[in-house]
Amino acid sequence: MNTSYRTNIDCYVFTNVTTAVPITYIDTRHIQIPAGLCLSDPTYNIPSKVDILIGADIFWDILGNKRISLGKHQPMLRSSELGWIVTGHISSPKGTFSQCLFTQGQLDIDLTRFWEVDSVSLEHSQSAEERACENSFAVNTTRNNDGRFVVTIPLKQDPQVLGDSFEMAKRRFLSLERKFEREPIFKEKYLNFMKEYEQLGHMTENKVLFPYSDNANYYLPHHGVLRESSTTTKLRTVFDASAVTTSGISFNEIQMVGPTVQDDLLSILLRFRQHKIVVSADIEKMFRCIDIVPSQRSLQQIVFRFDPSHRLKTYTLNTVCQGTASAPYLATKCLTSLASTVSDNSVKYSIAHDFYCDDLLSGASTVSEAIDLCKGITATLNSAKFNIRKWKSNNTLVIKELFSGQVIDSNTVLDLSDNNINTSSKTLGLYWLCQQDTLSFSINIELHKKVTKRHILSIISQIFDPLGLVGPCVVEAKLIMQKLWVNKCSWDEEVPSDILHLWSSFANTLSCLNKLKIPRWVLSDLCVKIEIHIFTDASQSAYGACVYIRSVCNSGIVRVQLLVSKNKVAPIKPTTIPRLELCGALLGARLCTKVQNSLKLNINMCRFWCDSTIVLGWLSTPSHQLNLFVRNRVNEIKESTGGHTWSYVPSKENPADLVSRGVRADVISDASLWWSGPSFLLKSEHSWPQMPNETQKRDLPDLQPCLIINNNVNKNDDDKLFTKLILKYSQFTRLQRVIAYIYRFIHNCKTKTNRFRDHLSCEELQRSFNFIIHIAQLEMFPNEYLILKSGHSLPKKNKLISLTPFIDSNDILRVGGRLDNSPYSYDTKHPILLCGKHHLTKIIFHMHHLKLLHAGPQLLLSSIRQTYWPLGGRNLSKSITKGCIKCFRFKASNVQPIMGQLPESRTTLEFPFLHCSVDYAGPIMIANRKGRGCQLIKSYLSIFVCLATKAVHLELVTDLTKEGYMAALNRFVARRGKPQSITSDNGTNFVGTCNELHRFLQDSSSQISSAFAQEGIEFLFIPSYTPHFNGMAESAVRSTKYHLRRLLQLTHFTYEEMHTCLTQVEAILNSRPITALNSDPTDFTPLTPAHFLIGRSLVSVPHSQLTERITSLERYKRIEFVKQHFWKRFSNEYVTTLQQKTKWPTASGELKLGSLVLIKDKALPPLRWALGRCVAVFPGTQDQVARVADIRIKGGTIIRRAFNNICPLPEPDC
């Protein structure tokens, strides 16, 4: 810095002027500062504190006039009294962003967990992203020499989309350091954790601050989480990969989360209750036992230092870290992959299915089996450097055998000493007393004087009961929660008195749950028979299901134990009790499926019990006789339960009655019906309750009318048969004939004398028609048909009321209408009602569309309404017409993407012709000599256009050989300099006189490209049939040819005359203004391409004004006339602004991979256009918008076309 400058200023003193400047570190490796210059701030690239802010009154006195440019996309140097100032543009990304950080309250987390464990998870198919994640793991995962897994983070986007994250991570760490100052104990634990992290090699200090400058980077903010309840790690560092970068995208957003590969919590706990000998353990630092491939570690960096007095450092995390979206999947997938390598089936199953993240819950039937299992699991996990610890068991012999001769420390086995043997261990949210082998709860309630919604929910969320062991108590809590929402209570206001009374009654007894000691093991010794019994029930408030396991030992002793239960509150909208009972039965069916899939037992029988005779009646009724709500649930129950029996149980002996109505916590411990089920299960099967007198089907609610088909055709119990038959056909006439043949088959089976053998008669086809319409209408309008069939009128709000429908003698629903007195036919006065969304309606429309020779929507709908009245017919007629492939060919619309951004070569000022385009024009006939008898020969124009300045260079070429073209190109290079790139046409099917020219360009393009590649010239060829990709050259060709046709007419120049003419035309084109003209005489001369070529406008030799008519003999004056005409035409053309998107301002249409398309061909009629299938699209390098695609046509040939020649075919509806 120049320290000789002195001046006096008045200042205000503040503790902080502004934030550090610059806002981020600047990489100076690409910035070349000339040697010997004195900078005003030598450390300009490092964010530093601003000491003084000067005003404008002295700023201009300090600033000098000298400038030094450091190059394109580089800053510039500006002189000042204090030294040279580095200012201007840099290529590193910059942005202003705001960041809001918040901590999710424990209440939110607890409530989420509360509802998750209450649901019964069902298997679902993997999504496309999950399948891609699985494939990525299979392809990229390896194991190093030590056996440790080395994984690749599955990414769904290029990490280059991430912006800068260093400043965000730095700010978060500085905030963490301020917390260290306030909490010394927290600081000590945090630093110890990070020291261990580094000592274990799980993170490595970077030698320089930014070691991965060439790769995508992400810096993870981190914070500490204290867990006083943990028996090992009290403090854990959590990395926040959800923090967004300056681009608005976080690291977690570009990761694939992956599917769930382990069993859910409920399945593991169910198996935990089936084993006589059980063990539990967990894997120490499971995530950190798995390495990340070195190429991706730049995405896992942190900002940290152990001493605030030291400079900030960056560290690289070498292992899978907690907080990234894919970490749980990668860790659990490594376990399941490890399990697949094991030969022992019990060990393999345990590792694959008995781990919940890093916690193990497994077991065996005997002590020796349990010991072998534990040893096998330990050895397998050790082979992959997973350290399993904290072993616990209900049998001390298992632990002693595992660690015989070893010193058992607190990090390996817990709570095995005599003093601590009765201490409970919390297992996945449940407390398990190892020696007593019982499950228990621990709920600590702090009642407040002011009872609010927040206070109530914070206490309810502590009840973590995934097995539903205290379901009758939990349902009371759910009902209180429902009342809070119904009353729209705010979070921190006192609840109403009625809710306060319910809450007080519930909360005062909730601590009684701590006294419960629930047996973990639910089976008997030496059992010979195992049965599952599912009870379901519902009340006006809730419905639920509970599952009991009944085991019979070889001595005949029966044991019944509660296994699991689930309940749900009734919807706020009032619902009938039978429907809620049906929902309870459905919940029981799903719960039974879950239990059967989870337990590794040979279950001899499953029986369902319900106290609702209506539900049992529904289950024994054919599904087609039930209305939609009941039918859907009955069908799922039947599919889930299969051949299992549904039986009746009296309400007093139904334990599910407790879970549907609720029981106080101080009463549930004595409810033997809940814990051991009804007493009749302890007796033999012949003593079990029997079904009372069966309810008649006509007394059941929610039934559809029983459908009877005329002509003794019996309806199948499954009404989906005819629906599937209708859906199978896309032609109405074929469907009609198939049904007619079915009727004929039935008739011929009934008689041997009067059988039908000839072609189908009109009577048979009409009967088939009536049947099809009848079946379809029952599906379209089931409720309306039922009401009208019973003789009642439709409700006023029914959608068909304005049509006054009725059922005719053929059981077909028709429009009543107002045309009874008209002279039209019966079908026109009373058309058949159809729903526009039904498949049958669509194929009828399609049939009429073909009959009317592809009529338009209006005529099609008019014809249809002569016989039918389709609801939504106007939209359907438009849809059918639009989806017709033959109709589409005559009005095919191509895909048109939005007008693209101009390339850098068009907007960046470079040397003229550094980037140019070329095109050919012609042929032009020239004379080989002057005078009569001359011979005419073909010649061509080679037109070069500068993409930046619009400068034009014209060359006359006498043949279409590659040598001639290369000679013209050599002349162009000699006069204009060597270009970096040349864009050229590559068309193959031009018409007229251009065929030969463009065939030459196509055939010689590869040879020309290779010849000039050695000279550093890149040849770019646009796709076929896309002249707008080379618009500047096409425009120059079009303008030149337009004037030449009018000026030359029948006159033929010699080579020298044509060359002279073209040279002067070139001068005129390069003298045209490329900026808007101004009427101000004092303004600057308009800018022309010539300014970039010679520094001034081109001026030719002056000539006299030509006003009189010229003759063909005066060749020289003719050339001058041509020149002046060109100048007049080009100087008056309107110069458009490059900013506006004048042609394609918006995108229209979309081209998907696999789409069937038409390929436009101007030489063929639409019916002859080729069909093809899109196999690839090519997004643009700048805006990632695809404009070119590869199409596979007949014969397997793949051609490349731009979107303006591609017309995607509509997808048919039927």
The per-residue pLDDT for range 235-265, each reduced to its tens digit, is 889 999 999 999 889 999 999 999 999 999 9
**Is 591 inside any structural domain?**
yes
pLDDT band at 910, cuts 50/70/90? confident
Higher pLDDT, 566 or 227: 566
In a domain, 82, yes or no: yes
The mean pLDDT of 138-153, rounded to a whole number, is: 96
146/266 same-domain check: yes
Which range of residues forms the domain containing residue 1181?
1156-1208
Q: How confident is the model at residue 707 (pLDDT cuts 50, 70, 90)?
A: very low
How much of the chain is in helix, strand and coil states, percent to nearest 5? Answer: 40, 20, 45
Average pLDDT over residues 104-110: 49
Q: Are 834 and 769 in contact (CB under 8 A)?
A: no
Express each pLDDT in 1136-1190 by its tens digit. 455 556 566 566 667 778 778 888 877 787 777 888 888 888 887 766 677 788 8
Give the pLDDT of residue 715. 45
Domains: count for the chain: 7
What is the pLDDT confidence band of residue 984, given thresholds at 50, 70 and 90? confident
Where would I find the beta strands (DSSP E) of 859-987?
868-871, 915-927, 936-946, 952-957, 981-984
Highest mean pLDDT among 179-193, 475-489, 882-896: 179-193
Mean pLDDT check: name the lowest of 173-177, 546-550, 970-974, 1141-1145.
Answer: 1141-1145
Query: Would you say residue 1135 has pLDDT above 60?
Result: no
1106 & 1190 share domain: no
**Taken in order 862, 867, 872, 878, is the CA torsion positive or negative?**
negative
One-letter amino acid identity for 939? S
- Are 1087 and 1108 in the same domain? yes
Residue 1042 tokens read as: 């337009």
Both 778 and 738 in one domain: the answer is yes
The reported pLDDT for the residue numbered 1104 is 47
Whether 945 and 1028 share a structural domain: yes
- Give the C-alpha separation, 72 to 55, whole Å: 31
- Does position 1084 have pLDDT exceeding 50, yes or no? yes
What pLDDT score does 516 carry?
A: 92
* Out of 51-65, 523-537, 826-840, least confident range: 51-65
For residues 451 and 395, membership in a common domain is answered with: no
Domain presence at residue 127: yes
Domain assignment of residue 1066, yes or no: yes
Please choose, from the candidates 686, 684, 687, the residue with its C-alpha nearest in 3D space to the C-alpha of residue 558. 684
Instruction: Determine the pLDDT at residue 499.
Output: 93
Kindly state the percentage of the chain with pLDDT values over 90.
Answer: 35
Asked which of 345-354, 586-595, 859-868 is least confident by mean pLDDT, the reply is 859-868
Q: Does residue 1143 lie within any of the structural domains?
A: no
What is the structure's pLDDT at 615?
Answer: 94
Tens digit of pLDDT for each residue in 42-69? 888 777 778 888 887 788 888 888 888 8
Higher-pLDDT residue of 180, 730: 180
> d(Cα 709, Cα 250) in Å, to the nearest integer?
63
Question: For residue 678, is pLDDT > 80?
Answer: yes
- Is pLDDT at 434 greater than 80 in this prediction? yes
Instruction: Based on the fold, state whether residues 547 and 663 are members of the same structural domain.
Output: yes
Residue 105 in this model has a pLDDT that exceeds 60: no
Whether 790 maps to a domain, the answer reads yes
Is 187 part of a structural domain of the chain?
Answer: yes
d(CA 220, CA 242): 9
> Which position has the higher pLDDT, 407 or 465?
465
What is d(CA 179, CA 177) in angstroms, rounded to the nearest whole number? 5
Q: Which of 120-134, 1032-1046, 1198-1212 has the lowest mean pLDDT?
A: 1032-1046
pLDDT tens for each residue of 416-433: 223 333 334 444 446 888
Output 37 or 902, whichever has higher pLDDT: 37
- Name the pLDDT band for 997 (thresholds 50, 70, 90): very low
Q: Which residues contact 967 (CB under 8 A, 6 or more apart)?
A: 957
Amino acid code (one letter) for 1175: V
d(CA 112, CA 105): 11
1138 inside domain:
no
State whether 760 and 818 are in the same domain: yes
Half-sphere exposure of 833 (CA within 13 A, CB side): 27
State the CATH number of the domain containing residue 410. 3.10.10.10
For the chain, the average pLDDT equals 82
Residue 737 has pLDDT above 50, yes or no: yes
With 0-12 / 13-18 / 19 or more C-beta atoms within 10 angstroms meaning exposed / middle / buried, residue 50 is exposed
- In terms of domains, do 413 and 532 share one? no
CA dist 1091 to 916, 949, 1099, 1130, Å? 17, 9, 12, 17
End-of-domain residue from the set 488, 515, 542 = 515
Of 74-83, 219-228, 730-739, 1047-1056, give the lowest mean pLDDT range. 1047-1056
pLDDT confidence of residue 557: 94
pLDDT per position as a tens digit, 1027-1077: 767 777 887 787 777 666 766 767 788 888 888 888 877 887 777 777 666
Q: Which of 380, 412, 433 is the last residue of a domain?
A: 433
Q: Is the pLDDT of residue 958 over 80?
A: yes
Based on the domain organization, do 1091 and 1193 belong to the same domain? no
Residue 1098 pLDDT: 66
474 and 338 inside one domain: no
Range scoring the smallest mean pLDDT among 349-363, 371-385, 662-676, 918-932: 918-932
* Mean pLDDT comparison of 3-17, 580-594, 753-767, highest-scoring range: 580-594
Residue 1007's pLDDT band, with cuts at 50, 70 and 90, is low
- Flag whether pLDDT at 232 surpasses 70: no
Mean pLDDT of 277-297: 95
Single out the residue in 486, 515, 544 at which a domain terminates.
515
List the single range of 703-712, 827-836, 1007-1016 with lowest mean pLDDT: 703-712
State the Cα–Cα distance between residues 814 and 833, nearest whole angstrom. Answer: 5
CA distance 306 to 173: 11
Segment 1080-1107 shows an average pLDDT of 60
- Pick the most confident of 466-480, 885-899, 923-937: 466-480
Q: For 164-190, write each residue's pLDDT tens digit.
A: 999 999 999 999 999 999 999 999 999
Backbone φ and ψ for 367, nearest 5 degrees, come out as -65, -45
Sheet with 359-364: strands ordered across? 355-356, 359-364, 277-284, 387-393
Q: At residue 909, does pLDDT exceed 50?
A: yes
Most distant CA pair in the chain: distance in Å?
Answer: 131
Q: Does residue 455 share a domain with residue 406?
A: no
